[in-house]
Amino acid sequence: MADPPSTVSIVGAGTMGAGLAVQFARHGVAVTLIDHRESNLADAEGAIADATAFLRAEGLLAASASPAERIERSLDAADGVADAEFVLETVSEDRERKRAVFETVAGAAPDDAVLASNTSGIPITELGTFVPDPERVVGCHWWNPPYLLPLVEVVRGAETSTDVIDRTAGYVEGVGREPIVVERDVPGFVWNRIQFAVLRECTQLVADGVASVEDVERAVRDGYALRTAAVGPFETADLSGLELFRDVADDLYPHLSTATEAGPAFDDRIARGETGVAAGAGFHDYEESLAEAIRRRDERVRAIGRARERTESREEANDG
């Protein structure tokens, strides 16, 4: 197993920033969590406590462990990255905000620090233009919740050095995660290209009256996703036979959505103020708080993880 970074500075104390702080801290890393608002840091403190309690309840964290003790808070980005071996930016998907972050940390962090971004879609090559030395800028895209989901995209920009790719992949492995190295800096990388292709087709099916939101949700969650938790799309094609999948694809592809905008499925709900769990409604109605909804999601993710772990243990025992 590779070694984690000795120190990491996380810029942005939102949902992902708090979750990342927990993941690094639980593996012994000294973390500085940075934000420009004290209120965001205060909210992150609560999210860190909730995630820690969940991990402990699930047996993923020793009762005596206290990740929060390894997490410092800072309102000063320059000061907060001064001793960082690894800087991970996770602010909102706003180019100018990210530009400001990278311009600050590039001048304040040690010269050999890796400058990483958790962006889910802004090109890493573009982020590299915000600093004098783009070879040390890399994508490091975690999937939410980062303290449960095992994979992390490590994305190479046009100027990213191989050393920085290798170091970042090693840091990811050092905190118990598995890197997926994305060799081409394409929009959306791997995960979000797949996720949004599925979402686009789902919204089109609802818009066309093919099925309800609830039934499309079930088709993905309780059907497609349940199977893909065990076998990926290429293995599924192998199991059924490539000739069959080629013939179905040739017939089906012309009918799939080619929408280039999110469209009314999102716009109409946003206009009504139905922006998601925190607002009490989105594609579904909610009577629970955002924290309660996150815990419910985490419990489901963990249940799937436990099932996979049991299966892998049996397979290893049989192989032995």
Span of 189-198, 199-208, 239-248, 298-307 with lowest mean pLDDT: 298-307
Q: Do 52 and 145 fall into the same domain? A: yes
Q: Do 36 and 166 fall into the same domain? A: yes
Over residues 299-319, mean pLDDT: 85
Q: Do 27 and 134 fall into the same domain? A: yes
Please check whether residue 206 lies inside any domain of the structure. yes
Please check whether residue 316 lies inside any domain of the structure. no
Q: Residue 54 CB: number of other CB atoms within 10 A?
A: 20
Bin 241: left if φ > 0, else alpha if -120 < ψ < 50, else beta: left
Cβ contact 304:229 at 8 Å: yes
Q: Do 75 and 160 fall into the same domain? A: yes
Please check whether residue 107 lies inside any domain of the structure. yes
Q: Do 167 and 204 fall into the same domain? A: no
pTM: 0.91
Residue with tokens 């090693």: 170
pLDDT at 319 > cutoff 80: no
pLDDT at 320 > cutoff 70: no
Side-chain-side CA neighbours of 105 within 13 Å: the count stands at: 36
What are the pLDDT digits (tens) for 218-272? 999 999 998 998 899 999 999 999 999 999 999 999 999 999 999 999 999 999 9
Q: What is the CATH number of the domain that holds 270?
A: 1.10.1040.10
Please check whether residue 318 lies inside any domain of the structure. no
Of 182, 201, 227, the domain-final residue: 182
C-alpha span between 212 and 87 (Å, rounded): 43
Which domain covers residue 228, as residue numbers?
Answer: 192-287
| pLDDT value of position 181 | 97
pLDDT at 99 > cutoff 80: yes
